[in-house]
Amino acid sequence: MQDNFLCYDLVMNYERYQGATGGIVEHELFGSVEINPQPLVYEKFRNAVAVVKKTQPFEDPSDPDPRFANDLHASVAELLGILDYKTLKFYTAVSRSPHKKTSLDFHHGIDAFFEYEAPNGQLILVTLDVTTGDKDDYKANVLIRVPPGGIDPNEEKDAYGEILSRSAQAIADIIKTKTTQTLK
């Protein structure tokens, strides 16, 4: 699924401290979907993406509600020089229930993704995974490490800005690379 040379591991040096669980941090950063209470079944990647796209908590995926997701979307759009935000969409795969995950999250290791419609009409997907701990093995294109307690943009402005900036740059670089590859 992923091209190894396109994977970024955004390692930040943080002191370890007790804090919110990974699921809570994922929800705070990306928002969460409402899924059926049926048993989790494996979905092929394309199907898992389609299910997640239908269950978004925000009305417009080009203007996501959680602050981090919105700031990240705007930063990526700015780095790519996108004027029409509708061509760049953000989707969360995080579930509201800590005991119930989406297939995209559980089976494919994807917490969220961006979908960019390139000028040639091709859809480019960049997948994200958030972790609050040590994680060396991941399936997403971009791994975003945050402190175990999450990150408060009002109290930790520098750290928030650095995570946001590095994440946006990694996503924009992947989109640029994939767009260039398709135009050759």
Q: Residues with Cβ < 8 Å from 5, sequence gap 6 or more?
A: none
Q: What is the pLDDT of residues 100-133, one digit of tens each?
A: 888 999 999 999 999 999 988 999 999 999 988 7
- Burial class of residue 127, CB neighbours in 10 A (0-12, 13-18, 19+): buried
- Identify the H or E element spanning 74: helix 67-80
* Token representation of residue 149: 């307690």
CA proximity to 170, closest of 148, 153, 145? 145
Q: Where in the chain are the domains?
A: 4-183
pTM of the model: 0.84
Q: Considering only 112-116, 138-142, 178-182, which range has the smallest mean pLDDT?
A: 178-182
Q: How confident is the model at residue 135 (pLDDT cuts 50, 70, 90)?
A: confident
Q: How far is Cα 48 from Cα 45, in angstroms, rounded to an integer?
A: 5
The residue to which tokens 């005991």 are assigned: 99
Question: Does residue 36 surpass a pLDDT of 60?
Answer: yes
Instruction: Say which residue, 56 or 8, is predicted with more confidence.
Output: 56
CA proximity to 80, closest of 176, 144, 6, 182? 176
Alpha-helix runs per DSSP H in 12-60: 22-30, 45-54
Percentage of residues in the chain having pLDDT higher than 90: 55
Q: How far is Cα 179 from Cα 176, in angstroms, rounded to an integer?
A: 5
What pLDDT, on the 0 to 100 scale, is given for residue 67? 94
Q: Which residues pair with 113 in a beta bridge?
A: 91, 127
What pLDDT, on the 0 to 100 scale, is given for residue 22? 60
Q: Which residues pair with 145 in a beta bridge?
A: 131
* Token representation of residue 55: 């269950």
Q: Residues with Cβ < 8 Å from 61, sequence gap 6 or more?
A: 53, 89, 90, 91, 115
